[in-house]
Structure 1
């Protein structure tokens, strides 16, 4: 029987978090050159199929591996390695059947799905996208087994390799498509990129499995016949907690263009407007990653057992995670909103859509807090509750799109996304009240946060005026350097005001580099 130490668990969580951060930065960053190469219409095509590809990625990275790792971890405390005939084969067959059902349904219904998107030209791209799902079983099982043994390195390496291969194929396709002129091929290219990444990740994991001993045996083991079905159900429920932003994009894929066309837009114009609106997605993704990653490092210490053993310590960890997420998300959203016309021009070549994209940036705050609170609830065993809330959030987004796009256009879609993620966030907080009372959220340091946002905004306003008066910011490179300088300066001002006004406790600052100097900035008393 093996026992895994707490430091080992935290080290594994850190490795996985860093790999997730790197791969997500890659995933968000490549969309800028993709849009630059294919324009807003090509970006629209990519974003129409991306939710399908993203859901396959989530199932293979978080959902099924999480469910399998729980089974393997529990087994490590009661017996030896998992059996090939009794564990690996039944799980593989069930996940394969699940994947093939999705592929068959998606392949046959692709023409109908494309019609619902009001763009029959997307049929082939939609069909090809569903072909990613057969890669799920092998990747999920191997990642889950390694994670169950608390060996996070194979998952981390395979995750980065998957993203590198995927991005390489997509950008290569974009280069070819930009010369050939058939922009709808970018959709099939994205699907082929996901398949190439999944194949590369499978190979890495398989080679790791061959070298690793003690993770499988041919000897049959007495296991319950229904365990594989529990893995399927548990895996799907876990995945919902990571699909909030993807789900909103899926709703937009089916409703935004049709709604715009019904309200007087020409079909080609509606597609271009949708492509401009989709510029906000990589920025939201990047802002959410940066805001929630640091807080999520605290989450492995939040479990039901720890809550029962030391409730006050766990509640303190939850409150700190929420506070850090709130600070980082608010700072990122406020900075992007203030700098957005220039950010839009630097990354996407023009300032089109800056108004409704600014509104969309507010999603960073609610989505970051939603992910953090959902992760806390997941650690406390409330996975079904969070999955139901995400499904309800999808309904809110769809209803709001139908209500607000006819009257407010793309602004309506931005407000619908903000409403949906805020709904999920408040739902998470209400469920969490059984373990963390609502008054703790009311007494977060809102005053220091408001002062920090105001101080940062004032500093950015003065710096922007001085920079544009002193320098010629005509090209994209000077604008990029200008934005980077203002972002760093704004972040420094934001953090210093938070510390100086009591936004952090002494204990929280002690965990940071140069803590002695930072502690000196705390208000007296």
Structure 2
């Protein structure tokens, strides 16, 4: 029996989304033990290097493979076997040229980048980070070939393998630092982790391709194809659309410490403040991933062809995806803000920075909805526009940091991130209004959302009072248990209130597990 191509594509997109979700949870989760082992100082060093490693990772996972898969799928549709001299050699050559240029520039200019960051001791870590770009072509080309043939499993497995190796080496380096090693080794260890992770992913992909030999030919094609524009333009545009939060971290890495130094704060204090500020990054990443994960399951079905054929059905899918994202990201943000003093102590050893980290949690709302809208827009062909919005957000973040950090310190950086993500969100809404009228967003169940959030807050406050009346929560373990219990209580109250206030339609309930039981909680008239 032949597989239906669209069904196969949706299945592949789901596998890739699931692997991305698992990888991002691993990526967010390991930073808590990393901070615990190396302290805020070590965490600061890691976060200064991370944006460079993140850019390399994004290029090798999303940017270049997506561009290569576009070329491969076109060749496959024309029933062409992939030619080693006419496809693999030129594509790999262009990727290696790009990776090599980035490596040379970064390696040579690391002292200059470190001076911009305000910390000369970062030079070795930065140089090690740029080496990763030399490995990017090897994994990118194989992932692109698999994805072009609609085989998403190799990319998905290689992504998880890469993260496991990367995280394992970073944590081992953190133990070395904790036992008296040079704290700046954490930056070098993070880079080595990324290099070994990428090599492990390449070995896995090479094994897969050698086991399931594709249709290759050594014959040169008579008509040579130019890959340069597709790989670089399409690849970089796709890459930018995955770099919203990463771009903000890059701006903070370049501007946070220098602005504090200008305000008269000592270098040691500025480094520690940056490390404390960066505690918010794994929580933002986790909140954003959870909020946009359900939506991403719906998104692959959104395409320009389907929009032309079934406009109302596609618009309904888009609105449902945004609605689910809104429900989760608002709850995650409000819950984190309420629980942050306990979360800060339970996860990061003390309550420093709670005030500005609470403000930073607002980024979850803007980034979650922006990522969902950006995914929709990409499906509809607005890849350039969404990429320009990310660049615009990066510029807004940079200007806001320059204006606010020297005056308001970490509070200024948190406000700058919130302003920048709001800019990107509004821009995506403006672009999408050509496909989904703005008035559709006003029809979302905002009243149900407000009532459910209010009920959740009351429930959390009462549970908080009850726990502190009975227990003395001094230790981190007890605070961790308290956080988990209150998270469960808050989520349960919130979900039940959403059901009772009619936030979900009957059709949406039918897509959820335990639908018969959930239908009983719907308001009268809807549960029939």
State whether TM-score is above 0.5.
yes
Give the CA deviation at 1:69: 1.3
Whether the 8 Å contact between 1:145 and 1:215 is mirrored in structure 2 is no
* Secondary structure of 1:132 counterpart: helix
In the alignment, structure 2 segments of 5+ residues that lack a partner are none
Give the CA deviation at 1:230: 1.4
Whether the 8 Å contact between 1:397 and 1:420 is mirrored in structure 2 is yes
After the TM superposition, list the runs of 4 or more consecutive aligned residues in structure 1 that deviate by more than 4 angstroms: none
* Secondary structure of 1:219 counterpart: coil
**Partner residue, 2:498:** 498
Cα shift readout 1:365-385 (whole Å, capped 9, x = no counterpart): 100111111111111111111
**Partner residue, 1:106:** 106
Cα shift readout 1:39-61 (whole Å, capped 9, x = no counterpart): 00000000000000000000000
Q: How far, CA to CA, are the matches of 1:5 and 1:465 in structure 2?
A: 56
Whether the 8 Å contact between 2:32 and 2:348 is mirrored in structure 1 is yes
**Partner residue, 2:293:** 293
Give the CA deviation at 1:75: 2.1
Give the CA deviation at 1:215: 4.4
**Partner residue, 1:413:** 413
**Partner residue, 1:366:** 366
Q: How far, CA to CA, are the matches of 2:179 and 2:374 in structure 1?
A: 44
Tell whether 2:445 aligns with 1:445: yes
**Partner residue, 1:517:** 517
TM-score for the superposition, normalised by structure 2: 0.97
Q: How far, CA to CA, are the matches of 1:378 and 1:222 in structure 2?
A: 34
Q: How far, CA to CA, are the matches of 2:227 and 2:20 in structure 1?
A: 28
**Partner residue, 1:432:** 432
Whether the 8 Å contact between 1:65 and 1:147 is mirrored in structure 2 is yes
Q: How far, CA to CA, are the matches of 1:32 and 1:251 in structure 2?
A: 22
Q: Compute the RMSD of aligned alpha carbons.
A: 1.2
Whether the 8 Å contact between 2:345 and 2:351 is mirrored in structure 1 is yes
Q: 1:477 to 1:34 in 2, by over 3 A?
A: same
**Partner residue, 2:218:** 218
**Partner residue, 2:18:** 18
**Partner residue, 2:174:** 174
Cα shift readout 1:266-315 (whole Å, capped 9, x = no counterpart): 11001000000000000000010101011011111111111111111111
Cα shift readout 1:226-248 (whole Å, capped 9, x = no counterpart): 23431221101100000110110
* Secondary structure of 1:91 counterpart: helix
Cα shift readout 1:73-131 (whole Å, capped 9, x = no counterpart): 22222113321111111110000000000000001110000000010000111111000
Q: How far, CA to CA, are the matches of 2:222 and 2:455 in structure 1?
A: 63
In the alignment, structure 1 segments of 5+ residues that lack a partner are none
Give the CA deviation at 1:223: 5.3
Cα shift readout 1:134-188 (whole Å, capped 9, x = no counterpart): 1111111111111111111111110111001001111111111122242111111
Tell whether 2:127 aligns with 1:127: yes
Q: Which stretch shows the higher mean deviation, 117-126 or 437-446? A: 437-446
Cα shift readout 1:461-491 (whole Å, capped 9, x = no counterpart): 0001101111222211111111111111111
**Partner residue, 1:394:** 394
TM-score for the superposition, normalised by structure 1: 0.98
Equivalent pairs counted in the alignment come to: 524
